[in-house]
Amino acid sequence: MAYKIAIIVGSLRRESLNRKVASSICGLRNDNLDCSMIEIGDLPLYNQELDDNPPAPWIRFRKQIAEADGVLFCSPEYNRGIPGVLKNAIDVGSRPYGQSVFDKKPAAIVTASPGSIGGFGANHQIRQAAVFLNMPVMQQPEAYLGHVSDDSFDESGCLKEGPLKEIVTGLAQAFHDWVDMIHRSRQLLAEDSAHRSQQETKAREHA
């Protein structure tokens, strides 16, 4: 079964390296990850005053995340942190208070950069937000993809053969397994709990 994955790219650039990495992940595992890129460039800046009358793009974004089985963040690092556009999307999805669409969604975080430390700072800032958002984030493999450039991709925007593609292929498989484990475990727990309450009802009836 293919899990529905919402991909949030933290760059608005059409030729974004991170967007290409995200597309490659979709292409590599399209048999079991049904990926959609979620637009965040049109989200008005989060303002708590609008909670009672949310702008249409907020409603659209929240619905798309709510419908997903998992979330993949794929982002550049800006000044050693999360790009503003991505932080805004995280804030929009997290509110109104108590209605966060990110709650309990399994997630993975990938950061890619032409620099050598692969967006480590941004990666961990997203991770920090995910703790508060109550998202079980895949721990390994970590994905700080350094030295990524236009040259890492072919004309169609897919990763060329080589070590980077190998890392990303492993990552895509691990993310599928992570989402699968979480959803299956929850299903088993729900079945177990339903079975137990059935048994308890029967026991009460025969008491």
Among 56-64, 71-79, 181-189, 195-203, which window interacts with ligand FMN (CB under 6 A)?
71-79
For 197, the token pair is: 């309450």
68 or 122: whose CB is closer to ligand FMN?
122
165 or 183: whose CB is closer to ligand FMN?
165
Helix (H/G/I), strand (E/B), else coil: 164: helix
83 or 106: whose CB is closer to ligand FMN?
83
Question: Buried (b) or exposed (e) across 38-70, using 16+ Cβ within 10 A?
Answer: bebeebeebeeeeeeebeeebeebbebbeebbb
Do the beta carbons of residue 138 and residue 145 sit within 8 Å? no
Min CB(17)–ligand FMN separation in Å: 4
76 or 106: whose CB is closer to ligand FMN?
76
Min CB(200)–ligand FMN separation in Å: 53
Regarding 11 and contact with ligand FMN (CB under 6 A), the answer is: yes
Q: By CB under 6 A, what part of segment 85-124 binds ligand FMN?
A: 113-115, 119
Task: Give the position of tokens 């963040």.
Answer: 73
CA atoms within 13 A on the CB side of 124: 5
Min CB(51)–ligand FMN separation in Å: 30
Distance between CA atoms of residues 194 and 151, nearest Å? 54
Longest CA–CA separation in the chain, Å: 73
Min CB(109)–ligand FMN separation in Å: 14
Regarding 125 and contact with ligand FMN (CB under 6 A), the answer is: no
DSSP at 51 = T
Min CB(151)–ligand FMN separation in Å: 12
> Of these, 53, 79, 140, 156, which contacts ligand FMN (CB under 6 A)?
79
What is the phi-psi region of residue 124: left when phi exceeds 0, alpha when psi lies from -120 to 50, beta otherwise? alpha
User: Under the rule (CB under 6 A), what is the footprint of ligand FMN?
Assistant: 11, 13, 16-18, 76-80, 113-115, 119
